[in-house]
């Protein structure tokens, strides 16, 4: 693989945007910094052909994706899907990992606002709508997810309230009456919206919302799911189903239930959200909400290309289709594989 602009930035110890400023002869760069970048360019034998192409054609051919964490199977799959669609549009993909931290998200937006990038697909986790609106920049940007949804920006999201409601209704339909929720939070973020759907389904069925069955202090990973399951089982309240707000937490919960000698789904039914590959191959296989990632990727790239062609086009809000996929962890079946 050839030398990337990021490689130059890492070697020089500066930001992506600073390298871009040097390459484009921006005046607001100190001579010391400019020399560091030029030394790194020379050492790595970097050839900034992209800049020349941008000047000639007004397009760089690069699409940036800013995601919270690439260790997450969901976000890794999403990046892969967007990359595949971008390739069909003759776009190369640059990926920025923000770790869901507000400062890193702001730095990502600053560094990606450059004419070396044609567009940005951004999934904010910490920045508010006001924060995002304060960084409009000049680069077309498509927002993913629930956070940071200011007016005037193209936006793509799953209807988390409706999806969570369907999962909870499914568990209620199995005859479960003590349904725990792992990942709930307040506000309009992912956990808040899924909690809203969970509560709505319980109330519609005439069931109480027992706060002792709601675990909110989690990190949306396997360890958090395991800890939450221990907390629920040791809390003195009966639990006959658990809805984890992502699949990683559900996998952690499954592990604890197995260690405690509880049968899934006979004793406790389990459901997750995201339809990651691990859940399809776990034992038992995991019931989950499956967002249509190919659709999401197609729409994200389409909106960037549309914005490039028509900068003043009205903003679009796209709802991502999803399906409740019922597998063994709630009494469904698992697909059979043959060699």
pLDDT in tens, 237-288: 999 999 999 999 999 999 999 999 999 999 999 999 999 999 999 999 999 9
**Structure token digits, residue 140:** 């077309």
Same domain, 273 and 174: yes
Q: Which helix (H) or strand (E) holds 242?
A: strand 241-244
In a domain, 145, yes or no: yes
Residues 193-198: what's their mean pLDDT? 96
Kindly tell me if the per-residue pLDDT of 331 is higher than 90: yes
Is residue 147 located within the same domain as residue 179? no
The conformation of residue 313, written as its DSSP 8-state character, comes to: P
Q: Which residue has the higher pLDDT, 31 or 226?
A: 226
147 and 166 both lie in a single domain: no
Which of 29-38, 120-129, 133-142, 217-226 tops mean pLDDT? Answer: 217-226
Final residue of a structural domain among 134, 151, 168: 151
End-to-end alpha carbon distance in the chain: 35
The continuous run of DSSP H or E covering 229 comes out as helix 222-233
**Segment 56-80 mean pLDDT:** 86
Same domain membership, residue 268 and residue 249: yes
Burial (CB < 10 A; 0-12, 13-18, 19+), residue 218, is: buried
The structure tokens listed for 213 are 């069955």
What is the pLDDT, as a whole number, of residue 115? 60
Residues 221 and 242 in one domain: yes
Q: For residue 124, give the CATH number of its domain.
A: 3.40.50.2300
> Residue 231: is its pLDDT beyond 50?
yes
Phi and psi based region of residue 313 (left: phi greater than 0; alpha: psi -120 to 50; beta: remaining):
beta
Residue-range definition of the domain harbouring residue 77: 5-28+44-151
96 lies in the same domain as 9 = yes
pLDDT over 70 (residue 52): no
Mean pLDDT of all residues in 45-70: 69
> Which of 8-22, 214-228, 236-250 is predicted least confidently?
8-22
Whether 136 maps to a domain, the answer reads yes
pLDDT at 48: 56
Same domain, yes or no: 212 and 141: no
Instruction: Report yes or no on 58 lying in a domain.
Output: yes
User: For residue range 111-153, what is the model confidence (pLDDT) as tens digits?
Assistant: 776 667 889 999 998 888 888 888 767 788 999 998 767 888 9
Is 58 a residue whose pLDDT tops 70?
A: no
Measured CA to CA in angstroms, residue 72 lies from 36, 78, 118, 216, 223 at distances of 35, 10, 26, 19, 13
**Is pLDDT above 60 for 110?**
yes
Residue 337, domain member (yes or no):
no
Is 303 inside a domain boundary?
no
- Residues 104 and 218 grouped into a single domain: no
Last residue of a domain, one of 119, 151, 183: 151
For residues 297, 283, 236 and 220, what is the CA-based torsion angle, rounded to 10 degrees?
A: -30
Which residue, 101, 133, 151, sits at the end of a domain? 151
Q: What is the pLDDT of residue 55?
A: 43
Residue 280: asked if its preceding bond is cis (omega within 30°), the reply is: no
Bridge partners of residue 157, in order along the sequence = 319
Looking at the structure, tell me whether residues 269 and 142 fall in a common domain: no
Residue 71 lies in a domain: yes
pLDDT value at position 20? 77
- Over range 178-206, report the average pLDDT: 93
pLDDT for 127 equals 87
pLDDT of residue 117: 85
Is the model's pLDDT at 186 over the cut of 80?
A: no
Total domain count for the chain?
A: 2
97 and 170 assigned to the same domain: no
Same domain, 147 and 164: no
Band (4; pLDDT cuts 50, 70, 90): confident
pLDDT at position 180, please? 98
Q: In terms of domains, do 10 and 126 share one? A: yes
Is 335 a domain residue? no
Give the up-direction half-sphere exposure of residue 117: CA atoms within 13 A in the CB hemisphere: 31
Predicted pLDDT at 131:
84
Residue 216 included in any domain: yes
Cβ–Cβ < 8 Å for 313, 152:
no
**Average pLDDT score over residue span 1-15:** 81
Q: Is the pLDDT of residue 1 over 60?
A: no
pLDDT range class, residue 49, cuts 50, 70, 90: low
How high does pLDDT run on average in the chain?
89
């Amino acid at each position: 693989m050839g030398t990337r602009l990021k490689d130059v930035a890492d070697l020089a110890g500066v930001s992506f945007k600073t390298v871009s400023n040097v390459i484009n002869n921006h005046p607001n760069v100190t001579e010391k910094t400019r020399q560091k970048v030029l030394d790194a360019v020379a050492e790595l034998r970097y050839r900034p052909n992209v800049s020349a192409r941008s000047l000639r054609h007004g397009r760089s051919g690069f699409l940036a994706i800013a995601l919270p964490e690439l260790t997450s199977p969901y976000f890794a799959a999403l990046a892969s899907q967007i990359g595949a669609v971008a390739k069909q549009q003759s776009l190369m993909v640059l990926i920025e990992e923000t770790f869901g931290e507000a400062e890193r998200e702001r730095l990502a937006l600053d560094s990606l606002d450059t004419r070396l990038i044609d567009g940005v697909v951004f999934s904010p986790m910490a920045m508010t709508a006001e924060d995002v609106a304060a960084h409009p920049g000049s680069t077309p940007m498509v927002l993913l997810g629930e956070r940071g949804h200011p007016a005037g920006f193209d936006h793509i999201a799953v209807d988390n309230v409706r999806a969570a409601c369907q999962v909870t209704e499914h568990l209620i339909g199995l005859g479960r009456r003590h349904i725990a929720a792992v990942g709930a939070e307040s506000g309009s973020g992912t956990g808040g919206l899924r909690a809203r759907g969970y509560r709505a389904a319980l109330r519609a069925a005439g069931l109480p919302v027992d706060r002792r069955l709601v675990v909110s202090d989690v990190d949306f990973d396997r360890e958090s799911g395991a800890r939450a399951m221990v907390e629920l089982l040791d809390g003195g309240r009966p639990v006959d189903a658990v809805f984890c707000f992502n699949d990683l937490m559900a996998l952690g919960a499954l592990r604890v239930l197995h260690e405690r000698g509880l049968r899934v789904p006979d004793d406790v039914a389990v459901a997750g959200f995201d339809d990651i590959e691990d859940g399809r191959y776990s034992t038992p296989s995991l019931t989950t909400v499956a967002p249509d990632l190919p659709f999401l990727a197609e729409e994200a790239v389409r909106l960037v290309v549309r914005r490039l062609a028509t900068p003043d086009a009205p903003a679009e809000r796209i709802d991502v289709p999803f399906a409740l996929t019922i597998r063994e962890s709630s009494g469904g079946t698992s697909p059979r594989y043959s060699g």
